[in-house]
Amino acid sequence: MQIESLKVFCDLAETKSFTITAQINGVTQSAISQQISSLERRLLPRKTGPSRKKWLIERTRRTFRLTREGQTLYQHGKQAIAIYNELQTRLKETREMVSGSIRVATIYSIGLHDLPPCLKRFLKTYPTVNVQVEYRRANQVYEDVMGNAVDLGLVAYPVRVRKLAIYPLRKDPLVVICHPQHPLARQRNLRLETLNKQKLISFEPDIPTRKALDKLLKGHSVEVQHVMEFDNIETVKRAVEIDAGIAIVPQSTVIQEVKQGTLAQVTLQDGEFYRPLAAILRKNKILSAGLKEFLAVLKGEQ
């Protein structure tokens, strides 16, 4: 039995999706089905007599469920894969090489503004590592990490989940942005209460940054008019640039626009207002040498 086929089976058991498993392993769904069938023929051979053939996965259209044999293979297979991966990591470290692939899922704002300089610094030191980046909504990042579709997720306002480990990265200050001709643009800083009754360009209600800002405004008894709602920072900025309203955003996301003069930035003065950033990984995940170094770069340790 090849370790690759065992990994495919474990990926399928975790994702419960032939499509995602095929994407993870870079093959077709048909190839995944063939490998599972091959495992069943090798591990569960048909016996002579009237007994029915056993399977690793229950074949139904509505549900995905491992059989008792499948559960056993998954539990011990994960241990075998972990030992195999640890062996590969140790051999690579012995040769003083950091290589392989790192799969990253990130929310748009981090992927577009915070990740690029870290990625550039990392690849300059470890050019043999292949870093694959996917841009996702926050809830999808959590799903990808828990489903083992990616190695690492990058999120804001991290939520504690039993199966995940959180690695705090840094705190990104929040600022008010507006059109350069907006009345607020004349101020260098302002109190949060000044935003009362203002037209606000917001993130969609289910986005963590929006939830945090709603809580912040409510705590200061500030009521705003949510005139537009978007799912990414770039569209929020474009709406502010046409003077459709103001917005509260992470400072790192507007550096270029403020420098070019298309947006004005105003500091909030009555407290520490920031957006915490974090990397999330599956608990008990064996970190490859490359992933360890990548985390160190993200955390500013290199």
Same domain? For 249 and 223 the reply is: yes
Same domain? For 36 and 108 the reply is: no
Residue 97 confidence (pLDDT): 58
**Is 90 exceeded by the pLDDT of residue 75?**
no
- Write the CATH number for 281: 3.40.190.10
Q: Which domain holds residue 249?
A: 171-275
Which band of pLDDT confidence, cut at 50, 70 and 90, is reported for residue 169? Answer: very high
The mean pLDDT of 25-42, rounded to a whole number, is 86
Same domain? For 145 and 163 the reply is: yes
Same domain? For 158 and 186 the reply is: no
Residue 52 confidence (pLDDT): 53
Domain count, the chain: 3
| Boundary (domain end) residue, out of 30, 59, 94 | 94
Which band of pLDDT confidence, cut at 50, 70 and 90, is reported for residue 177? Answer: very high
Q: What is the pTM of this model?
A: 0.66
Same domain? For 261 and 141 the reply is: no
- Write the CATH number for 42: 1.10.10.10
Same domain? For 151 and 213 the reply is: no
Residue 23 confidence (pLDDT): 87
| Boundary (domain end) residue, out of 34, 68, 94 | 94
The Cα 124–Cα 113 span in angstroms is 18
Residue 135 confidence (pLDDT): 92
- pLDDT tens digits, residue range 216-264? 999 999 999 999 999 889 999 999 999 999 999 999 999 999 999 999 9
**Is 80 exceeded by the pLDDT of residue 95?**
no
Same domain? For 64 and 136 the reply is: no
Same domain? For 124 and 210 the reply is: no
Same domain? For 52 and 190 the reply is: no
The secondary structure of 208-269 as a DSSP string is HHHHHHHHHHHHTT---EEEEEESSHHHHHHHHHTTS-BEEEEGGGSHHHHHHTSSEEEEE-
Mean pLDDT, rounded, of the chain:
88
Same domain? For 132 and 271 the reply is: no
Strand 100-106 to 129-135 pairing: parallel
| Boundary (domain end) residue, out of 94, 112, 140 | 94
Residue 18 confidence (pLDDT): 85
Same domain? For 281 and 137 the reply is: yes
**Is 70 exceeded by the pLDDT of residue 208?**
yes
Same domain? For 158 and 294 the reply is: yes
For residue 185, with 0-12 CB atoms within 10 Å meaning exposed, 13-18 middle and 19 or more buried, which class applies? middle
| Torsion angle in degrees (nearest 10) through CA of 97, 100, 101, 102 | -40
Which band of pLDDT confidence, cut at 50, 70 and 90, is reported for residue 93? Answer: low
